[in-house]
Structures are given as C-alpha cells and as structure tokens.
Amino acid sequence: MPALEPHNIKYLVVHCSDTDEMDIQGIHKMHLGFGWEGVGYHKVICRDGLIHNGRPEFWQGAHVKGYNESSLGVCLIGRTSFSDAQFKSLITVLSDWKSRYISAKIVGHRDIQDTDKTCPNFDAGAWWDSLEAPMAAYASVTSTLCPVYDDNGGTASQGRGTELLYGETVRILSHQQQNQMIKVKTILDSYEGWILDSDIGFSSDEPVLPSPCITWPSVTVTSATDVTSPACAQLMLGSRIILADTANTHHDLETEADWVKILLPSNQDTSRTGFIPAGALRPVSDWVGLAEQFEHVPYLWGGRSFSGIDCSALLQLCLHAAGLSIPRNSGEQFAFFQHAPHQRIEQDTPHQRGDIIFWPGHVALCLDERNILHANAFHHKVAREDRVTALPRLHKATNGSATTIRPAF
C-alpha cells in the first residue's frame, strides 16, 4: 500500500456514507468489493459519535480520486442528517489532524473532486470556519492558578474539575466568545475542560517545549536576589518556568544559596523577570517526603496546589515531580497502576512507605506500615491517620474495598 508522506498532506476531506445503516465493517467489505485494500477512509464516525480507525495515517487512502496522495479522509455515517455526537467527534478528529497538519485545508468530498456526488451534503469548509475559535492552537497558562470547569458556565456551580498551574501548556479546542470561555486539552494528562481566556496567553501552532518545573510545594518569586525584595508571584509545585539566563543554570543549581532568574510572561507584559531559589528546581528523590509537606493543606475539590488540593492531585503532583506522569483522577490512576511492573499488595500483607491505596473515587499513600496520608473531605485537609482506623470509615464512605498498589519506578 503506498505511503502517505506527512509533508504532502494538503487536504482533510469530510465524507458521508449516504446511508444510516452502514458501519465500518460494511464499508470495509464494500471497498474490498471495489478491489481496494479494505476501508478507504482513515476515520469513520458512527451515529453515536464513536470514532473508528480505518487506514493508518501513513497509508494513502482510497476516498477521493486524484487526491489520495495528499489527503486524509473521515466519513460520517449518514446522508443528510448527522447527530450532535457525530459533529462533536468530527471536531475532535479534525482538531487532532490540524494540530499536526497545520496548513491542510478542510473540505468536503464534493468540493475537491470533479464529481456529481454531493457528499457530504453540507459545506464542510464553511462549517469549520463558522466555529468560534481557531482549533489546535497552543497556549500557556499565565495565571498562578487557573480553574478548569466541566462545562462553559465558568462558575464553581457548573462543575470545577481541576486546576492548571502557571506555565502549563494546553491545546485550544473551541471558544465561546459570549462568555470568554475556551475549551482546552492539557498536554500533561489530556484533561479536557473550560477555562477563562484571560488565564492563558496564546503562543503558537506548536506545543511549547518542556521547561523546568517547580519542585517545592510553593515558592515566592522575588524581584531581586534578596529575600527582602518585593514579591512578584507565588508559584506552586508543578508550575513550569522559563529561565531568563540559561548560561549559568548548572552552576545556579549547585547550592541552596544560589538564585535562578526566570521570565514571568503574562498577557500584558512578556518581559518581566524575577528570581527563585535554585533549590525549587531540583529533582525530587523522595516523592512521599514531598507529599508529607502538604500535611494540613486545605482540602479543595478539584484543587491542585498548596492553596487547596484533592486526593488524586496530591498523588499526581508528587509523582510527577519525581518523574512519573500519571492521570489526573483517581479512577484513571487506579487503571494506570493495574499493569506491570506495578504490584497489587494484599491488605493483610505489611504495607510500606510509598504504597498507594485506592478506593472507588479516593486514593491515599502509605507513610509507613501503619500510617497513611491523604487529602480528604472528612478532615477538610491533607491528614495523616492510622490506616487501621481509616479503613472502615473509607469503606463505608466510598462503598468499596481498598486495593493497595506498590508502584515500581
């Protein structure tokens, strides 16, 4: 099968199946009957919005004669009426493609080939242009903490899902101009939600390169290399900074007394600089010890900082500082740790420092054989407590039993 070179991709072509009854298996059989090498599209979107993979992107499709060597194709199941779920998935597919093939043009089958076909029976290019924001642009968080909401209402009552930290990179998915809300997808853990556009600064059509992370629970940025100088900002664990002077970076990190000069980009001024202690950028070797520094920090649903934090964010931030990237929410974290080389530990087996205990919707970490640490609503803070005492209460509160994982990293 001929290869499809990424630099040759000039068009992203939208098709329809001309019937509601077809599925990807049916398309595959039909295209085999044409003498083709199976399904000719790269993606097929069913009526329920489920996205099926067709041909890999590195193979030429068989979907638009004369342009297969310069295009990717996606097919909507249907003729003239498509579901909201299908259009949502179409945005997902095209946004993903546009993030990697930025100059590619979005067109319908009828718009690119000299044909009597009316496929996909709507103006795909005009539909895409009518969306309220450019898709697949990248941006960096410019506020110290940026709330992420589950929908575009923009208030805590609408569902505060998580928080973004200063310097984190997101991909722009869509924009609601009437309330200045932007839908984003995080680069760190692929979390999707809505944020205020005032909390980010648009950067480019490419993801921002990785930059150093703050590895202290919190650090003050000062205007000079003097603790008595005015404070510029307070940055939290996991915040990403840009070094203003990379020439002396290795020297700066050698002793606690050294300072590091950093840029403080913002939507208004991209030239401000400040200073942080070099120790705030040092790699973390004891992630449990880092978590212990959060003891007594207030519990905050969706919180992800020293100002307020929830159980899964405490685990994610501290493990990420030690070099292990895991998902944001406890359920996905539990799924992440189900695979080797991580081990499941029986509850009657002696626990050890660094073991992680999961319940439905909750997670804690072991400080030693007896004590655990977790952000929880019962104590309204990050609390240390006896595991034996906590287990019955958490079993009742979560309506589920505990599972202990021993991470291997």
Residue 156, pLDDT score: 45
Q: Is 325 a member of any domain?
A: yes
Same domain, residue pair 350 and 373 = yes
350: CB partners within 8 A, 6+ apart: 369
Task: For residue 41, indicate whether it is catalytic.
Answer: yes
Same domain, residue pair 245 and 295 = no
Please give the Cα distance from 21 to 71 (Å, whole number). Answer: 26
Task: For residue 362, indicate whether it is catalytic.
Answer: no
Q: Is 200 a member of any domain?
A: yes
Q: Is 10 a member of any domain?
A: yes
394: CB partners within 8 A, 6+ apart: 359, 362, 364, 402
Supply φ then ψ for residue 337, to 5 degrees: -85, 5
Same domain, residue pair 15 and 126 = yes
Same domain, residue pair 344 and 262 = no
Residue 51, pLDDT score: 87
Same domain, residue pair 91 and 44 = yes
Last residue of a domain, one of 204, 230, 250: 204
Task: For residue 15, indicate whether it is catalytic.
Answer: yes
Q: Is 212 a member of any domain?
A: no
Please give the Cα distance from 235 to 165 (Å, whole number). Answer: 8
Same domain, residue pair 61 and 17 = yes
**Catalytic member of 15, 42, 43, 63:** 15
Q: Is 156 a member of any domain?
A: yes
Same domain, residue pair 122 and 160 = no
Structure tokens belonging to residue 50: 């489920």
In the block, which residue shows the tokens 């924009």?
Answer: 175
Assign residue 112 the CATH number of its domain. 3.40.80.10
Please give the Cα distance from 280 to 292 (Å, whole number). Answer: 16
Task: For residue 191, indicate whether it is catalytic.
Answer: no
Same domain, residue pair 24 and 118 = yes
How many separate domains does the chain show?
Answer: 4
Q: Is 209 a member of any domain?
A: no
Same domain, residue pair 124 and 143 = no
In the block, which residue shows the tokens 């039993």?
Answer: 401
Give the dihedral sign, CA 342/347/350/354.
positive
- Sheet strands (E) in 278-396: 304-305, 308-309, 343-345, 356-359, 362-366, 371-376, 381-386
Q: Left (φ > 0), alpha (ψ -120 to 50) or beta: where does 354 sit?
A: left
Please give the Cα distance from 79 to 179 (Å, whole number). Answer: 34
For residue 230, what are the domain limits?
A: 218-280
Last residue of a domain, one of 233, 257, 280: 280
Last residue of a domain, one of 130, 147, 182: 130
**Catalytic member of 28, 41, 67, 185:** 41
**Catalytic member of 28, 63, 98, 109:** 109
**CA 49 to chain centroid:** 21
**Catalytic member of 46, 75, 119, 146:** 119
- Strands of the 200-204 sheet, one edge to the other: 160-165, 145-149, 192-196, 181-186, 169-176, 138-141, 200-204
Same domain, residue pair 170 and 59 = no
**Catalytic member of 10, 52, 105, 117:** 117
Q: Is 113 a member of any domain?
A: yes
280: CB partners within 8 A, 6+ apart: 214, 215, 216, 219, 260
Same domain, residue pair 305 and 347 = yes
User: Exposed, middle or buried: residue 58 (CB in 10 Å: 0-12, 13-18, 19+)?
Assistant: exposed
pTM assigned to the model: 0.66
Assign residue 178 the CATH number of its domain. 2.30.30.40
Please state whether beta strands 381-386 and 371-376 pair in parallel, antiparallel, or not at all (unpaired).
Answer: antiparallel
Q: Is 88 a member of any domain?
A: yes
Task: For residue 119, indicate whether it is catalytic.
Answer: yes
Q: What is the mean pLDDT of each run of 10 residues along the chain (409 residues)?
A: 82 90 84 85 89 85 90 92 89 79 87 84 88 63 92 62 92 72 86 89 56 93 93 94 65 62 64 88 94 98 97 97 91 89 88 97 97 97 96 94 91
Residue 266, pLDDT score: 57
CA dihedral 82, 41, 95, 103 (to 10 degrees): -130
Residue 178, pLDDT score: 57
Same domain, residue pair 340 and 373 = yes
